[in-house]
Structure 1
Amino acid sequence: MIKFSGTPVLETDRLLLRPLKQSETQSIFDNWLSDERVADNRVNAAHTSVAQTEERLKKIVSQYEDQEFCYWGIELKETGELIGEIDLYDFDCSTDNCEVSYSLGFKWWNHGYGTEALQAVVEFGFRQMNIHKVSAAHNTDNPASGRIMAKVGMKQEGVIRHMIRNAKNQYKDCSVYGILREDYLI
């Protein structure tokens, strides 16, 4: 059975994973949500106005009181910069499975931050929440995200053709990955 505990602060060597704040709207807009390079790997289009980010953030912040809501901002401990987001979602209480997704600002790609954040969230999911399986997917034209998943022990389970349609109305194939609690905790 999943043990929900909301969105606690998680700390790694270089990162602080913590709830987002409404006051961070501009940083979130500037650092990743308005960037087309990041949006190409997301389902939703890049934000064209801070107002879009503000509305999205209002929805996120309003859910933090819900114990079943697990949504973190990724902050660099050294500078305090907010560089991305990561969340556990789509909890299935009949199987104790869930999904994870993440986005990092382009400036912080290829520095190991995605791996570090995903490792912390997977660890939290298995050790604290008693999750049975964590799954994730990435566009096949974004193999770097698959490397992040593999580095934390996730195994590619297949490719789903035309799994998503992006903001440019293009269908994208996605590689699906998963990791089981029993494999992670050995």
Structure 2
Amino acid sequence: MINFYGTPTLETDRLILRRLVIEDVQSFFTNWMSDERVTDNLIKGAHKSISESVERVTNIVNEYEDQEFCYWGIELKATGDLIGAIDFYHFDLTTENCEVGFTLGYEWWNQGYGTEALKAVMEFGFRHMNIHKIAAAHNIDNPASGKIMQKVGMKQEGLIRHMIRNAKNQYKDCAVYGIFQEEYLV
């Protein structure tokens, strides 16, 4: 059985994973949601105005009332900058599986922050929430996300053609990864 704790604060060597607050809207918008380089990998695409980010962050903040909602902002300890987000979603209570997604602002790519954040939430998910399997997918034209998944022990399980359609109405093939609790806790 999955144990839900909502979105507790998690800490790593360089990061604080925490709940978003309304005051994060400007960082949310500026640091990743308005950047086409980042949002090209997201289904809904870039936010064209801060009002879109206000709406999204407000919805996220309101969801924190639900213990099954797990959405963390990724904050740099050294500077306090909010650089991205990571979340568990699509919980299947029958199989005790879920998916994980993560986004980092372009300025912070290729510095190990994605790996550090993913490792922290997987550790929490497997050790505390008792999740059986965590899965993730990435567009095949975004191999850096797959490298992050591999670094934390996830294995590629296949390729799904035209798995998503992005905001530009382009279909994208996605590589699917997964890891079981017993594989991670070895």
1:15-34 CA-to-partner distances (Å, cap 9, x unmatched) read 00000001110111000000
> What CA distance in whole angstroms lies between the structure 2 residues aligned with 1:183 and 1:17?
24
The offset of 1:44, in angstroms, is: 1.1
1:148-163 to 2 correspondence within 5 Å?
A: 148-163=148-163
> What CA distance in whole angstroms lies between the structure 1 residues aligned with 2:181 and 2:22?
34
Residue 120 (structure 2) aligns with: 120
Q: Secondary structure at the match of 2:88?
A: strand
The offset of 1:8, in angstroms, is: 0.2
Residue 142 (structure 1) aligns with: 142
> What CA distance in whole angstroms lies between the structure 2 residues aligned with 1:93 and 1:39?
30
Letter matched to residue 176 of structure 2: V
Cα RMSD between the aligned structures? 0.4
Structure 2 spans left out of the alignment, 5+ residues: none
> What CA distance in whole angstroms lies between the structure 2 residues aligned with 1:45 and 1:160?
20
Residue 62 (structure 2) aligns with: 62
> What CA distance in whole angstroms lies between the structure 2 residues aligned with 1:102 and 1:83?
11
> What CA distance in whole angstroms lies between the structure 1 residues aligned with 2:115 and 2:44?
23
> What CA distance in whole angstroms lies between the structure 2 residues aligned with 1:124 and 1:67?
15
1:35-184 to 2 correspondence within 5 Å?
A: 35-184=35-184
Structure 1 spans left out of the alignment, 5+ residues: none
- Give me the identity figure in percent: 69
> What CA distance in whole angstroms lies between the structure 1 residues aligned with 2:45 and 2:127?
34
Q: Secondary structure at the match of 2:130?
A: coil
The offset of 1:128, in angstroms, is: 0.5
Q: Secondary structure at the match of 1:29?
A: helix
The offset of 1:36, in angstroms, is: 0.2
> What CA distance in whole angstroms lies between the structure 2 residues aligned with 1:66 and 1:169?
32
Letter matched to residue 38 of structure 1: V
The offset of 1:59, in angstroms, is: 0.6
Misfit runs of 4+, over 3 Å: none
The offset of 1:61, in angstroms, is: 0.2
The offset of 1:73, in angstroms, is: 0.1
The offset of 1:144, in angstroms, is: 0.3
